[in-house]
Amino acid sequence: MSARDFDCIVIGAGVQGSFTAYHLAKHGKRALLLEQFVLPHSRGSSHGQTRIIRKAYEQDFYTQMMEECYHLWSQLEKEAGVKLYRQTGLLLMGPEKGRDFQLFKNTMHRNKIPTVTLEHAEFSQHIPQVNRYPGDGAIVDTTAGVLYADRALKAAQDVFRSLGGVIKDGEKVTDIKPGPLVTVTTVSSVYRAKSLAVKINVCYWRERTPGTYSVENRFPCFIHVEVDGVEHHIYGLPSNEYPGLMKVCYHMGSETDPDERDRQTDRSDIEIVSRYIAARFPGLVPVPAVVESCINIVIGAGFSGHGFKFGPIVGKVLGELALGQVSSYDLSPFRIRRFPSHSKSAL
C-alpha cells in the first residue's frame, strides 16, 4: 500500500471524526484523518474547554447509549494518561408535575440511573447557591459531570496516531470521486481509500391493496432465515417510507462498479427476492417498483448540542458502517425522516 493509499479516509477532525478514525485504527485499519484547518483550532463545534456528560435524558435510547460512552471515555483516559472527566453530578430541576421533568425522571428510574431526590426542606442545605421555587422538583444525576473537551479531542487524536493513524491538517477537501478506490483530492494532495464496493439492491414492492403491509396496520418488520434454496436470509420492513410500497431485501449484494451501479447489470439478488415474494407474500406484486443502490461512502452529520459527549459512540458506529458492519445501536431515532417538514431532496 502506497503512502497515499488507505483502508479508510475520515474527513473532519472534530470529536466525531477523530473517534471514527480512532475506532478504525483499533480495528487494524490504515486510516487517514483529514482536517481543513490547522489543529488545534476554534472554527468547528468540538473546541472549548468543557462539555456536560450525563445519563439524564428524556429518551431511553440516549440514556442507554451513555452507558457505553462512559466506559469509552474512561478507556481513552487510561490510554492517553490524561484526566478527561470530573464527576460533579447534574441537577435536574423544573415543575415537579411538568411533562419534561417527568420524562427525565421516569427515564432515569426505568434505566436505574443513580439519582438523589432533594426535597424542599433539604434542597437549600445541599445547594444553597440556587433558589428553588415552590412546585419545583429536584433530582440529581449523580453520575454526571464535566468533560474537558479540548483535552479529550487531543487525546483521541494522539491515541489514533499511536495506533498508526495519519492526520493531515490544513488540507481542505476539494473533490471526492466514488469508485472501487474512493479518491479524495485536497488543496495539497490526492488520497485513495481502498474498499470493495458492494451494491445492496434495496427494493420496494407494491402492495396489491394499499395498506396491507403498512405500519398503520401493525405489520411488523421481519427476518426470514434459512429460506429454502437461498444462502442468506431475507428481511423486510412494513410500508412506510414510500406509501403503498414495502421494503424487502436479500441480505447480500453483488459486486459492482459504482460508475455503473444504476445500470443493474447483476440482478441475481433481485430475482431471489422476487421468487420469495411470489411464494410468501401474496399481497405484493413480485416485480420491484423501486430499486435503490448503496455504495461505500458514509456521511455523519448533525450532533450540535448532544454531540460531543456521544463522540465515542458516534465514532464507533460510523466506523462500523464504513467497514460494512451492522451498527451496534438502533439508528432509527436519528433518521432524516424524523423531520416531517422536509423532504429528502430538500435536505
Residue by residue, pLDDT tens for the chain (347 residues) are 556 889 888 888 888 889 889 988 998 989 999 988 888 665 555 656 677 788 988 889 889 888 988 999 999 999 999 999 878 787 787 778 888 889 889 999 999 999 999 898 888 887 776 677 788 888 888 898 878 888 999 999 999 999 999 999 999 888 888 777 888 899 999 988 864 323 445 577 888 888 877 767 766 656 565 566 777 777 766 676 567 887 777 766 555 444 444 444 456 778 888 988 888 778 888 888 766 554 444 555 555 555 666 666 676 777 666 656 666 666 666 666 665 554 443 43
- Does residue 13 sit in the same domain as residue 31? yes
Quick check: is 346 in a domain? no
Quick check: is 86 in a domain? yes
- Does residue 230 sit in the same domain as residue 179? no
Quick check: is 347 in a domain? no
Tell me the residue type at 289.
Answer: A
- Does residue 27 sit in the same domain as residue 143? no
Quick check: is 271 in a domain? yes
Residue 283's CATH number: 3.30.9.10
- Does residue 133 sit in the same domain as residue 254? no
- Does residue 66 sit in the same domain as residue 143? yes
Residue 169's CATH number: 3.50.50.60
**Among 147, 165, 184, which residue terminates a domain?**
147
- Does residue 282 sit in the same domain as residue 318? no
> Which residue segment(s) compose the domain that 69 sits in?
60-147
Quick check: is 312 in a domain? yes
Beta strands in the chain (DSSP E): 5-6, 8-11, 31-35, 50-53, 85-87, 90-95, 115-117, 136-141, 145-148, 166-169, 173-177, 181-186, 190-194, 198-199, 202-207, 222-224, 234-237, 245-250, 254-255, 284-292
Quick check: is 241 in a domain? yes
What pLDDT was estimated at residue 25? 92
- Does residue 20 sit in the same domain as residue 86? no
- Does residue 245 sit in the same domain as residue 96? no
What pLDDT was estimated at residue 13? 86
- Does residue 112 sit in the same domain as residue 140? yes
The number of domains in the chain is 3
- Does residue 135 sit in the same domain as residue 114? yes
What pLDDT was estimated at residue 284? 86
- Does residue 191 sit in the same domain as residue 213? no
**Among 261, 277, 292, which residue terminates a domain?**
292
- Does residue 209 sit in the same domain as residue 286? yes
CA-based torsion, 138, 143, 144, 145: positive or negative: positive
